[in-house]
Structure 1
Amino acid sequence: MPIEVFCIDSYHSKDDPKPVVSSVKKNVYILFGILTGILLLSTIVLAVLFSIEKTKTIKPIAVKDELCLTPFCIKAANYLLESIDETIEPCEDFFKFACGTWLKNNRIPDDTGAQDTFNVLRTQLDNNVIDILTSPLPDDTIHIKAISNARRLYESCVNEIAIETDGVDTVLSVVDNELGGWPILHGQSWDETKFNLSKLLFKLREYNNNMLFQCGTATDDKNSSAYYIRISQSDLALEQKQYYINESKITQAYKQFIYELAKSLTNDSTMIENDVRDIYEFERKISHFHWTPADQRARQNDTIRTSLHNLSRILNTSFDFTNYVRQIYLSANVTLLDNDNVSISEVEFLRNASLLIDQHSPRTVQNYLIWRFMMNRAANMPKRYRTIKEQFERALRGTSAERPRSVTCGSYVNGNMGFAVAKLYIKKYFDENARNQSLEMIRNIRNAFIDMLEDSTWMDDVSKDKAKEKAREIDEKIGYPEYLGSDNITELEQEYEGYEFNSSYIHNILKVLQIKSQENFKTLRKPVDRKGWGLTPPTVVNAFYTPSKNQITFPAGILQMPFFNKDAPKYLNYGGIGAVIGHEITHGFDDNGRQFDKDGNRILWWTPETIERFNERKTCVVDQYSQYFLEQINTTINGNQTQGENIADNGGVKEAFYAYKKWIKANGNLDKKLPGLIKYSSEQMFFINYAQVWCSKMTDPYAMSRVLTGVHAPGQFRVLGPTSNFVDFDRVFSCKPGQGNSRLNKCTVW
């Protein structure tokens, strides 16, 4: 799924007098600015001369005519020069060439497990969100309730004094009075005769907690114009089943987390050690049946589709799933019908988890389910309890410090009321030029992909024509939904109706959980807006493809340097956001996306012959990435688990490159060179900026988690994989076939 870097500036209270700058100091500042400008220009000239001297084949250039000296170009040249390592031959290892200096000079922040371009941008976004939530509101937004409540939610989160005053009574009251109590806190006095699994899971789901079983509303994969009920496995506390196989520092830290949290909440410690052991052993047994991301991807066709009426008969478990599903939807005033469609995933897990519940005592099951609730709530409790969780997170992620409270709170508000935050973000930080330029790039890259489809030799004409039709039908969303840019606030206010908060953070947390749960259930009876924006707010650094909508989305948060800048040379934009655009388009035709037609329905729309040839080509990609060895943790990556992203990476960089070449052909090579980088052609700069985006470092625990659970390959392989398969990369850098960064047998799906 965020890593932050922070610098702490001196702080002045709003009550402190503002520092007065004398006229003498002002003159000094002006002189300093002039000297800085002269120094910067001298540096640029020296960089140009050095670059010319270093590459004798380059003729001296007329700086005025061919060198870009705009503030943006100087900044871009700086971050690229601080990234590449020219002692490395590009054809031998393009990742180390493009990122070698970056790797030497960048460190992993103490409060994160990794550092990369995405995380740097997320840090900036986090700071912008904090600014939005704390600065005086623009006059035209003061009256918007959604924004006022978002800021009130943030204020309650950063108010440590109030959080300490509230203590844990509210959480424990919910546990005791609504959830049946946490036995580990009550020693032998807990009454197991009151154990009611259905009621417990129902109440947990009311607080948006899916324990053991995941149940909620999703778009019907066979009918994208409607919703259905989806039941599947829930998550594991340690995320990945492999962690439970052997005892390790992570499992020890996890058990210590349970022990310390329970001990901090009770004076009766007589049963804690036994209960911790039983909780862990119960979850370890559950993990044995848990499907990994690779399992889920490989066994998508194992999903069962049925009606609510037949649900219990299909699952054949002692737990009454039909009644459970009816009750949780009824909590949101949604009455289910016998013929409502239900999709069941990971059926084997559901049956085995239900069987394990039958085989264990009520105390163990109650202890485990309440533990998972408390594990999530620990982050919302006073600092001494958060510190206990932080120790576990350090073992799991490899961190050594806690995130600043302001960042934690800003991220929380953005995650739950992101569209209210975005209303302010786009007014203050988003450049509208990004929308028009991005639309043009999407059009050009889409056309490049259609050309690639046309040139395909492995697709028959029937499948090829349908694929081209799907590509043309892809809906694009850029920046933000239209209503956020409008003076009409009706839709925004409706979006957050009921999101009314007070000064109690834990009260607000519990209310948000209940609201989110009800929103999901109520969606079942709503019409699907296939052209709507979706659930992810514009204030994220990411991009998306949604199969059920055949839609690509590029939120405002990602439309910034090094991905995009309106003043950037086209080779930077196409190598940055262009490759991301191509990546998302290609997702419509990867191992998962290709199963959905142009209308977002999961049906067979390719011929069997074309599907067979596709599978042969994707197998090449799977095998290639399965051989990549991450030396840092002495393990190979999972080519099956990451295949969709790898296919998208390989296709995306090609589409963006071909689109850029067509742009040059249509417009002439108007791009000027960057200072200090004049030796590189525009095509080479395209690849350099593409690779720079994936410069990354990880702690060992974070790297292991990434390999075990992530669907993306680590950054270095997102560079090496696509460039080694691309003949135009070989041509641009004059690489010989079979050289380090050039595969002899190139894997090509798109």
Structure 2
Amino acid sequence: MNRIRPASTKFSLLALALLPSLALAQSAAPVYDVNDLDSSVSACQDFNAYANGKWVKANPIPADKTSWGAFNALREQSLNAQHDILNKAAAGADEAKAGSIDQKVGWLYRSGMDNSAIEKAGYSPIKPDLAAIAKLKKPEEIAAWLGKAAAQGTGHVFGFGSGSDFKNASNQIAFAGQGGLGLPTPDYYTKDEYAALRTAYRDHLAKLFTMTGTKAADATKRADNVLAFETRLAKASLSRVELRDPKNQYNFVTLAEADHITPHFKWEAFFKAIDVKPGKGFSLSQPKFFAEFDKMLADVPAAQWRDYLAAHAIDSASPSLSTAFQNERFDFYGKTLNGQPEQEVRWKRVVGSVNGAMGEGLGQLYVKDYFPAESKARAQVLVDNVRNALKSRIEHLDWMSDATKAKAIAKWSTFLPKIGYPDHWRSWDGLKVSPNDFFANVRAARAFNQRWELDHIGKKTDRLEWGMTPQTVNAYYNPTDNTINFPAAILQPPFFYANGDDAINYGGIGAVIGHEAGHGFDDQGSQFDGAGNNANWWTPEDRKRFEERTALLGAQFDAYAPIPSMPDKHVNGKLTMGENIGDLGGLNFAYTAMQTAAAGKPDPMIDGLTRDQRFFLSWARVWRGNIRDKAQLVLLNSDPHAPTKFRAIAAPSNMPAFAQAFQCKDGDAMVRSGDKRVQIW
């Protein structure tokens, strides 16, 4: 289970919502299939269509997906691999060593596949919670319930967990942050264009109430109460762009100062309920939100609070309840909101639940079969070479002063790369799992993981700890510990071939490595030093020049409109800024590293393609794919990553090496020249 961290403190390659924690073994497919290229399209006009158009046309989105592309293909093969692991574990769980990981993940998976027991239980597993919520009458009783729920990992209204202190990153402190919304962003509650979705959400909530015994007329009223409650929270919430600013993610307060912001919510009582000693204080990260939450404790009728808490208790539990609840949740979040025609089959969803409950435990079994030692060794060489290229590019920047360069190199020198999987695995001792009660198992795991999370508070930061499981098809950078992290699952084709040529590997995993390292120097990461502290290491003049260059990149992405049927819906250059800087820098770092590795060596000219052409084609192939319009709209509003088809073309269009590789000229769509060309790191 991933740690709860402030919004800025983990920058991943792709939205995790699209990438469940899964992986696959090395493929026997060719390293690069030139038959994928569409010769009817000019690489200089639309590189994505040239590199990926044929594949996209030949690979429509499956009915149980919102998107389909290179990442999704990895996920599907990974699901099968993990399915095999879990089937074997389930079959042998009764005879496995008592309390072993094999037994626990086996029983967890087996209980999730026990449809008969789950159907028989209906919604009875949450009846005690609903009964307790129904008794809440006073603000102090509601506050006590919030503390009790937080201790079990089922918190409401706001998020709570641990993270590195922004001013002393070697220490872990508590963070409380805004939350409590059932729709993707605050805009969904206030803008007219989302009125129909609000109605659909209200209807979804009403259905949940009727499914748990409320009469239809009363259910609609209760759903209206929930929507009104969340709308008030939304109006006090910061936008996704605002949350990218570290100043909006960290606000250290003492308990007395926190109580001054929330006079009706006593933080000492909350910390006691979750059994945490806060030390000198904690981060009440968005004080405006918490001030409004406190007012709502005082002036929102208890009945409306009960409706809100009950709705979220039912909705969050739905994936572990009977089929009717699972289907209702999918009908709104999958079908209505994201346009997904069909729900994934049961076993795939249960694999996801196992990952959520015991992801690193499953990862321990995964790496035994799917991550050979030679892959880790080859990846380490690529990491070292790309990091060295980053250093070289910093040293040769013409827009940065020597003073700031020295600080940048100092930060570079403290990067900690982590490859494949943790050096030390999490212990699962104390987690009780039974072979036949899925809901109880999921709840026990949630509480166990929450205890593990809360136990970090007051301790030293462990840079060797991972925030992703080995089987996650992704990578990330964490500025508060200055680590770049590459799970085993992404060290696979088409990103990485243990025996592949340099051009393919540097254009794939090399650019991923560069992307994550580049996050240390993007618009957010550059506000943290090598020790992980939120501290300025720039001269004012250099920062100004940096922001002028990033503004130009923002304008490039602002111009992209990914949904033909919605030409007024553009990419948000500010929301996606960090990832776009990561792509542009990462591809440049990887290209420099490839040039260094190839120095003095003849161009192999594989399949009639030059080394440089294969490099850029490898990059584009990673981003091939298609997505449903509804899902794309949600991501435009909420995801800090730009649509994949623009990631394939944006960075190359700013690189003279691309134009030279494909003999493009000024005026071609794929050549940004003059004052339009963006060059940062």
TM-score (norm 2): 0.91
Asked whether the 8 Å contact 2:379–2:419 carries over to 1, the reply is: yes
Partner-residue secondary structure (3-state), 1:565:
coil
Q: Which whole-Å CA distance do the structure 1 matches of 2:555 and 2:281 have between them?
A: 38
Q: Deviation at 1:442?
A: 1.0
Asked whether the 8 Å contact 1:725–1:748 carries over to 2, the reply is: yes
Give the match for residue 289 of structure 2.
349
1:435 maps onto 2:376 in alignment: yes
Match of 2:331 among 343, 366, 391: 391
1:228 maps onto 2:173 in alignment: yes
Give the match for residue 86 of structure 2.
133
Q: Which whole-Å CA distance do the structure 2 matches of 1:652 and 1:277 have between them?
A: 47
Cα deviations by residue, 1:295-353 (Å, 9 ceiling, x for unpaired) = 1124635742222232212x2x34324234323332xxx3344xx23112222122123
Q: Deviation at 1:554?
A: 0.6
Q: Deviation at 1:361?
A: 1.2
Give the match for residue 277 of structure 2.
335
1:735 maps onto 2:676 in alignment: no
Q: Pick closer, same or farther for the CA change 1:455–1:399 going to 2, 3 Å.
A: same
Match of 2:110 among 148, 155, 163: 155
1:103 maps onto 2:36 in alignment: no
Match of 1:81 among 35, 55, 75: 35
Q: Pick closer, same or farther for the CA change 1:138–1:238 going to 2, 3 Å.
A: closer
1:54-453 mapped onto 2 (5 Å cutoff): 75-78=30-33, 80-82=34-36, 84-135=37-88, 142-143=96-97, 145-176=100-131, 179-181=132-134, 192=137, 196-244=141-189, 245-246=191-192, 247-266=194-213, 268-298=215-245, 300=247, 303-313=250-260, 315=261, 317-330=262-275, 334-337=276-279, 340-393=280-333, 394-453=335-394
Letter of the aligned partner of 1:100 in structure 2? G
Asked whether the 8 Å contact 2:243–2:249 carries over to 1, the reply is: no
1:723 maps onto 2:652 in alignment: yes
Q: Which moved more, 1:698-707 or 1:123-132?
A: 123-132
Q: Deviation at 1:270?
A: 4.7
Asked whether the 8 Å contact 1:292–1:709 carries over to 2, the reply is: no
Q: Pick closer, same or farther for the CA change 1:194–1:731 going to 2, 3 Å.
A: closer
Cα deviations by residue, 1:435-484 (Å, 9 ceiling, x for unpaired) = 1111111111111111110111121111101211221221111111234x
Q: Pick closer, same or farther for the CA change 1:381–1:136 going to 2, 3 Å.
A: closer
Asked whether the 8 Å contact 2:169–2:480 carries over to 1, the reply is: yes
Q: Which whole-Å CA distance do the structure 1 matches of 2:240 and 2:138 have between them?
A: 38
Q: Deviation at 1:136?
A: 5.9
Cα deviations by residue, 1:10-49 (Å, 9 ceiling, x for unpaired) = xxxxxxxxxxxxxxxxxxxxxxxxxxxxxxxxxxxxxxxx
1:503 maps onto 2:436 in alignment: yes
Partner-residue secondary structure (3-state), 1:228:
strand
Partner-residue secondary structure (3-state), 2:456:
helix
Partner-residue secondary structure (3-state), 1:554:
strand
Cα deviations by residue, 1:98-147 (Å, 9 ceiling, x for unpaired) = 11112211111212211121111112112211110112699999437122
Letter of the aligned partner of 2:647 in structure 1? R
Give the match for residue 186 of structure 1.
none
Q: Pick closer, same or farther for the CA change 1:470–1:433 going to 2, 3 Å.
A: same
Cα deviations by residue, 1:365-393 (Å, 9 ceiling, x for unpaired) = 22112211211111111112211112112
Partner-residue secondary structure (3-state), 2:515:
helix
Q: Which moved more, 1:553-562 or 1:256-265?
A: 256-265
Q: Which runs of 5+ in 1 are unaligned?
A: 6-70, 182-189, 484-490
Q: Which whole-Å CA distance do the structure 1 matches of 2:113 and 2:604 have between them?
A: 47
Instruction: Provide the aligned C-alpha RMSD in A.
Output: 2.4
Q: Pick closer, same or farther for the CA change 1:647–1:440 going to 2, 3 Å.
A: same
Partner-residue secondary structure (3-state), 2:497:
coil
Q: Which whole-Å CA distance do the structure 2 matches of 1:552 and 1:736 have between them?
A: 36
Letter of the aligned partner of 1:205 in structure 2? A
Q: Deviation at 1:658?
A: 1.1
Give the match for residue 450 of structure 2.
517
Q: Which whole-Å CA distance do the structure 1 matches of 2:246 and 2:455 have between them?
A: 29
Q: Deviation at 1:73?
A: 8.2
Q: Deviation at 1:595?
A: 1.2
Q: Which whole-Å CA distance do the structure 2 matches of 1:252 and 1:627 have between them?
A: 31
Give the match for residue 11 of structure 2.
none
Asked whether the 8 Å contact 1:397–1:702 carries over to 2, the reply is: yes
Q: Pick closer, same or farther for the CA change 1:299–1:425 going to 2, 3 Å.
A: closer
Q: Pick closer, same or farther for the CA change 1:197–1:748 going to 2, 3 Å.
A: same
Asked whether the 8 Å contact 1:311–1:322 carries over to 2, the reply is: yes
Letter of the aligned partner of 1:403 in structure 2? E
Give the match for residue 748 of structure 1.
679
Match of 2:483 among 541, 545, 551: 551
Q: Number of matched residues? A: 652
Q: Pick closer, same or farther for the CA change 1:363–1:619 going to 2, 3 Å.
A: same
Asked whether the 8 Å contact 1:622–1:640 carries over to 2, the reply is: yes
Q: Which whole-Å CA distance do the structure 2 matches of 1:215 and 1:321 have between them?
A: 15
Q: Pick closer, same or farther for the CA change 1:616–1:548 going to 2, 3 Å.
A: same
Q: Deviation at 1:155?
A: 0.6
Q: Which whole-Å CA distance do the structure 2 matches of 1:72 and 1:553 have between them?
A: 23
Letter of the aligned partner of 2:157 in structure 1? L
Give the match for residue 642 of structure 2.
713
Letter of the aligned partner of 2:584 in structure 1? N
Q: Deviation at 1:239?
A: 1.6
Q: Pick closer, same or farther for the CA change 1:72–1:525 going to 2, 3 Å.
A: closer
